[in-house]
Each structure stands twice: as C-alpha cells, then as structure tokens.
C-alpha cells in the first residue's frame, strides 16, 4: 500500500497531497463517445483548462445478463481512466449503481424487473444481492485506479441524487459499505439538487450540489448544512437534454459564463455536466415522467461546450479563457477539429418486410396471456431489455380495442398485416375494421426508453404489461416475438438471401438496405432522414439510435471510425414511411430551440 495522501475535505477547501486544490471538472461518458475518439475529447478537455474528468458507470451495459460482465472495447473503463491519467487529469468516478444520466432505467439492468416485488434503490434483498455481485466485479476493475494505489481517481460518488428518492434510510449506508468493504479508501461524496440536500446525508461523506443558476441559494444552503467543508457543484448543468416532440434546449453561453465565473471566484469547485454529452447510441435513451411520459432523443448534445461531434463551441472558447486564469502555465493548444463530409445520397437497393424477418428471431414464445418484455424466456432467461416486441393473436370480429394503458410505450396495430393505427400513452383505444372469419391481430410494441429519474422506477416494465380488451373481452392466445435487434439477429438478417430488390415504400414496417461508398479516409457525417417516419439506423452493424420525424432531432451522428474505406452497409428499420434514399450533411439540424432559462424551475430539478 502506498503512502499517498488522497483528496481531503477537512477544511473550507480541498487538499490533495496536503496542497490546496480547486476541482475544475467536466463530465464525459465513455459509453457515449466512440472509443476511437476518447483521446480527442480528453485532449480538448485538458486544453480547456479542466483538471478533472468525471464519468458515470452504467451497470446495464456492464452486466447485460445476470452474472455476465463486459468491460471490453467500448466499455473498457480501466483504459478510459488510464487515458485520463496520461493526460494529467484527475478522475471522479460515479459508479451508481443508479446513475440517472438520461439513460434507460437510470443505468439499472432491466433483468432486475423480473422480480415482481422488486424495490429498486432500497435494501430489498433481491436488489442488495444483485448490487453486491456487481460491485464485486466493478471494484476489482476500478480499485487499481485509485489515487492511493497510484491511479488518478481522487473521489468516488456514493449512488446519485438519493435525496430526491429517499425511500430507505439504510440504503445509502449500504452503498457506502459496498465501496469501503471492498477497499475503496478515497474521498466519498454524494450529489443532490436543492430539494435533495434536505435528506440527512452520511457521516464521513461529503455533500455536493447540482444546479444551473444561483438564485435559489443552493450553495449557501450547502454551506450552512456542512460548515468548514469545501463547497462543490458536482453537476453544473451546462445545457439540458431533449425529448421527442418538443424543442431543442439551449443555454446561452453568456448566461452560463456568468454563473461559472461567480462559482470560481468564490473558490468553489465545479464539475460541468456535461462538458461533452455525446450520443445515446442504440436503444439506451431514458425518459421523463412527471405525469406525462416523454422519451428522450438519441442525441445527447446537451448544448455542452463540446458538441455531440466533438466541436469546440462558443461556450468552450469562453470557458477556456476563464479557466486559463486559474493556471499559472499556458494551456495546451486546442486539437484541430475533426474533418467532416456530406457523402453522396445512398440509394435504397433492397428491403425485407418485418414479417419476413421473423424467421431470424429466436423461437417465438406462446402464452395464453400477454407477457411483458422483461419476463420473456429469452437471452438465457434474462428477458428482453430493449427494442421491439411483436404480439400476435387471432380475432373473429372487428370492434374497439382497449389498451387500458397496458402498452409500453407505443404499438403499431395490424389486422392481417395491414396497419390500422397505433396505441400509446395518450391513445388507449382504437377501432378495428369488421371482417369475416379468423384474422391475425398483431401489435408491434416499442420500448421507447425507461424512465431514468423519479419515484416510479420499479414500474418500468415494457411491452404489453396487462390485458388488452377487444369489445371488453381480454385477448388470449399470444405468439410473442422478441425483436431486440442485437448483433446476432442483424447478422442472420443480412446474410439471409431473402432481401427483395425492388424498392417499395409500402413495405413497412421493414428493413431497408443501401451501400455507402467511402473513397479515402472515412470522416464523421450526419445522416439526414428526410422523408422517413420513425425507426432505427444500423451502419456496419452499429446501432446509431432512433430517429422520429416529430423532431426536434432530424439527424443521426455517424462517427467516421465506424465507417471504413470502400463499401459500408446501412440498414434502416422503418415503422411507417420509407424513402428511397438516405441523405448526409456536414452539420446537425437541432430543430427549433428553447432557452432553458425560460423553463419553470421545477422542470430542471
């Protein structure tokens, strides 16, 4: 064991190795940035004058099935933290188990929901057991990175914003013990917004706060409840996230700079959340629900100082100028921007209908009653986590279909494979056409993202979660297909030889395939889906995320490292309206904007 003295919070300022320090931090999530770009983003962080990287750790990616761990490739947390150390950055880890982060179920794995009595973020035995097994693995990965072991990690956060949840007073001490009993000896801290600070906190754990503006006295409140301790804003919200169907949030650079300047002048430590937001690739976005369910978009640009594609914005340049005043030496040069290209449009050459793709799913499951996604006997009995589920049964009449709000979150409804409408959190009934004899009723249900913040985490089951009625009689006798569109399924689909070559926009829902030819070195680009409806895009097997014509996001970020020189395969899964081509642009289009300062305060807690 080394004799290094770590970060201490024993007076009104932090000390590290006995010397006073002010933490100038920024959040970049390794899981939201292509691994090939980790170095570029961290170099830009260093060049902005920051001295500390913070990151969450998403349990649902690291343990996708119970007892199966992944810390490789894009999820190589150890390499990411070591890269920060090479840049001369300290690191604050925020391992959860719950992280919020506008991430599906706040980073908790969906297989926890298989237990119908589960109480997430409490000392409920099923949750405690799962956390213990995860922390056994996680701590073995991160322990060598601790400052006292010669690594860059100077502090570790205990859970996240528990003061706003506070269901179980024994829970936070349990998480603290999880870390300490496994040998984590660095400074521990909690982070809470203004309302959450009222929660008791713990002995020997430093409280920090999360905010965007100073007008509510949150910092004074923190100083009052924790005298003679260093003050830190753990999440200074540099922008805000977006939800489908609303405007793109911006937080003007001058408004942000005024607050950051004041925080720094008062000697308070800060962490910019986000410094670089990146992208919620795949199906990983979360959702809000304060009475109305609102799924978040794919882009996590956040109006942060570094844009989604890693560009230095006006905010970045203003912050660099400000932070440079807190360094005695000159800051490093800012790395040159990544080159981008608007590739020639890709023409759709082949398509495969959803119905023809069902041969390539795992064996369908037959059940008298509907079964929710998480309880399907798939993925080694860990259930289905993400994507779509298709429920089919037979009907002998038309009439009214009542969902009773049991569709989570959105279903396209088909009779004999003809779309007759949709059901979602707003629309709970639908008229089915009359017809003779037995017909097949199909419901294609999409998990649009589990809620990541609030009191209802235990209720985030997806698919069909209860009875669906036809003319007041519950439907029975289902055949259920799991369409999580994982790499194995996509490979089977691609190699199937079933693709049809005449383009028909009427073949929806379905998969549409085209080839992008890249001459020379691949560059970053943005896919524009003009003329398309709603769906998901795969490039060379990578799931770039969802698009939806309702906006505000009208593009998908396609990182150059995920392309190759020569031929690249693009597959679009489209639900309702296909076009015969895919367009590209050099720059994103965020749609209409709204200033976060105009939002009521309660919406940004």
Q: How far apart are CA 438 and CA 396, in angstroms?
A: 5
Q: What are phi and psi of 465, to 5 degrees?
A: -105, 5
Tokens 């009689």 found at: 473
- To which H or E segment does residue 32 belong? none
In this predicted structure, the answer to whether residue 531 has a pLDDT above a threshold of 90 is yes
- To which H or E segment does residue 346 belong? strand 346-353
Q: Percent of the chain beyond pLDDT 70?
A: 98
Q: What is the pLDDT of residues 340-352, one digit of tens each?
A: 999 999 999 999 9
Which tokens sit at 543?
């799931």
Q: What is the pLDDT of residues 288-313, one digit of tens each?
A: 999 999 999 999 999 999 999 999 99
**Catalytic residue status for 235:** yes
In this predicted structure, the answer to whether residue 410 has a pLDDT above a threshold of 90 is yes
In this predicted structure, the answer to whether residue 603 has a pLDDT above a threshold of 70 is no
In this predicted structure, the answer to whether residue 411 has a pLDDT above a threshold of 90 is yes
pLDDT of res. 301: 98
C-alpha distances in angstroms, 480 versus 4, 384, 463, 495? 57, 12, 10, 24
Least confident of 11-20, 200-209, 299-308, 507-516: 200-209
pLDDT of res. 506: 78
Q: Radius of gyration (Cα) for the chain, nearest Å?
A: 25
Question: Domains, the chain, ranges and CATH?
Answer: 7-324 (3.20.20.80), 346-354+487-585 (2.60.120.260), 369-476 (2.60.120.260)
Q: How far apart are CA 192 and CA 172, in angstroms?
A: 13
Q: What is the pLDDT of residues 422-459, one digit of tens each?
A: 999 999 999 999 999 999 999 999 999 999 999 899 99
pLDDT of res. 1: 47
Q: How far apart are CA 65 and CA 341, in angstroms?
A: 38
pLDDT of res. 528: 97
Mean pLDDT of 243-264: 97
Tokens 């998901």 found at: 536
Mean pLDDT of 563-586: 97
Which tokens sit at 79?
């390499």
Mean pLDDT of 539-548: 98
Mean pLDDT of 210-218: 86
Q: Percent of the chain beyond pLDDT 90?
A: 93
Q: How far apart are CA 311 and CA 596, in angstroms?
A: 21
Which residue among 63, 102, 159, 161 is the active-site one?
161
**Catalytic residue status for 329:** no
Residue pair 298/280 in contact by the 8 Å Cβ criterion? yes
pLDDT of res. 194: 87
Q: How confident is the model at residue 282 (pLDDT cuts 50, 70, 90)?
A: very high
Which residue among 235, 308, 392, 575 is the active-site one?
235
In this predicted structure, the answer to whether residue 599 has a pLDDT above a threshold of 80 is no
**Widest CA span of the chain, in angstroms?**
83
Q: How far apart are CA 462 and CA 385, in angstroms?
A: 8
In this predicted structure, the answer to whether residue 77 has a pLDDT above a threshold of 80 is yes
pLDDT of res. 605: 41
Residue pair 22/327 in contact by the 8 Å Cβ criterion? no
Question: Quick one: which of 423, 391, 390 has its CA closest to 409?
Answer: 423
In this predicted structure, the answer to whether residue 600 has a pLDDT above a threshold of 70 is no
Q: How confident is the model at residue 516 (pLDDT cuts 50, 70, 90)?
A: very high
More confident residue, 605 or 50: 50
357: Cα separation from own chain's centroid: 28
Question: Quick one: which of 208, 196, 266 has its CA closest to 233?
Answer: 208
Q: What is the pLDDT of residues 309-328, one digit of tens each?
A: 999 999 999 999 999 999 99
Q: How confident is the model at residue 598 (pLDDT cuts 50, 70, 90)?
A: confident
Q: How far apart are CA 120 and CA 451, in angstroms?
A: 13
In this predicted structure, the answer to whether residue 602 has a pLDDT above a threshold of 50 is no
More confident residue, 203 or 475: 475
């Amino acid at each position: 064991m080394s004799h290094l003295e770590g970060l201490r919070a024993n007076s009104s300022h932090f000390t590290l190795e006995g010397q006073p320090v002010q933490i100038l931090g920024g959040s970049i999530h390794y899981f939201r940035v292509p691994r090939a770009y980790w170095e570029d983003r961290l170099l830009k962080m260093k060049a902005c004058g920051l001295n500390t990287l913070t990151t969450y750790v998403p349990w649902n990616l690291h343990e996708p099935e119970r007892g199966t761990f992944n810390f490789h490739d894009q999820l190589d947390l150890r390499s990411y933290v070591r890269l920060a150390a090479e840049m001369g950055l300290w690191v604050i880890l925020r391992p959860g188990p719950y992280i919020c982060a506008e991430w599906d179920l706040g980073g908790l794995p969906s297989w926890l929901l298989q237990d119908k009595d589960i109480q997430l973020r409490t000392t409920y035995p099923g949750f405690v057991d799962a956390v213990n097994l995860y922390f056994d693995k996680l701590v073995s990965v991160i322990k060598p990175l601790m400052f006292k072991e010669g690594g860059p990690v100077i502090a570790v956060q205990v859970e996240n914003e528990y003061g706003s949840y506070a269901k179980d007073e024994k829970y936070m001490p349990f998480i603290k013990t999880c870390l300490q009993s496994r040998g984590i000896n660095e400074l521990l801290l909690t982070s809470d917004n203004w309302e959450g600070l009222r929660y008791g906190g713990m002995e020997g754990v430093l409280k920090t706060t999360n905010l965007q503006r100073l007008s509510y006295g949150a910092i004074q409140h923190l100083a009052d409840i924790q005298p003679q301790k260093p003050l830190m804003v753990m999440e200074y919200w540099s922008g805000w996230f977006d939800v489908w169907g609303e405007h793109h949030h911006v937080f003007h650079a001058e408004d942000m700079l005024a607050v950051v300047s004041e925080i720094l002048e008062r000697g308070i430590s800060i962490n910019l959340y986000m410094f670089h937001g990146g992208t919620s690739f795949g199906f990983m976005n979360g959702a809000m629900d304060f009475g109305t369910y609102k799924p978040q978009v794919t882009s996590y640009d956040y109006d942060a100082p570094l844009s989604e594609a890693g560009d230095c914005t006006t905010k970045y340049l203003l912050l660099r100028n400000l932070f440079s005043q807190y360094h005695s030496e000159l800051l490093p040069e800012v790395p040159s921007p990544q080159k981008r290209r608007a590739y020639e449009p890709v023409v759709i050459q082949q398509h495969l209908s959803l119905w023809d793709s069902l041969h390539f799913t795992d064996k369908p499951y037959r059940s008298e009653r509907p079964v929710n996604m998480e309880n399907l006997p798939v993925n080694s009995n860990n259930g289905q986590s993400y994507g779509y589920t298709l429920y089919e049964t037979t009907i002998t009449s038309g009439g009214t279909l009542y969902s009773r709000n049991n569709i989570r979150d959105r279903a396209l409804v088909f009779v004999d494979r003809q779309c007759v409408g949709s059901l979602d959190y707003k629309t709970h009934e639908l008229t089915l056409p009359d017809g003779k004899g037995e017909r097949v009723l199909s419901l294609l249900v999409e998990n649009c993202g589990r809620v990541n913040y609030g009191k209802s985490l235990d209720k985030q089951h997806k698919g069909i979660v209860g009875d669906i009625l036809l003319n007041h009689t519950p439907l029975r006798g289902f055949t259920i297909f799991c369409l999580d569109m994982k790499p194995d399924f996509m490979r089977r689909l691609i190699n199937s030889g079933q693709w049809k070559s005449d383009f028909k926009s009427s073949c929806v829902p379905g998969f549409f395939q085209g080839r992008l030819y890249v001459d020379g070195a691949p560059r970053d680009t943005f896919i524009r889906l003009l003329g398309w409806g709603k769906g998901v895009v795969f490039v060379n097997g990578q799931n770039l995320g969802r698009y939806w014509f309702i906006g505000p996001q009208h593009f998908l970020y396609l990182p150059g490292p995920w392309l190759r020189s020569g031929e690249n395969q693009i597959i679009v899964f489209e639900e309702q309206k296909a076009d015969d081509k895919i367009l590209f642009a050099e720059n994103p289009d965020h749609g209409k904007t709204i200033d976060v300062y105009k939002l009521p305060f309660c919406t940004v807690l």
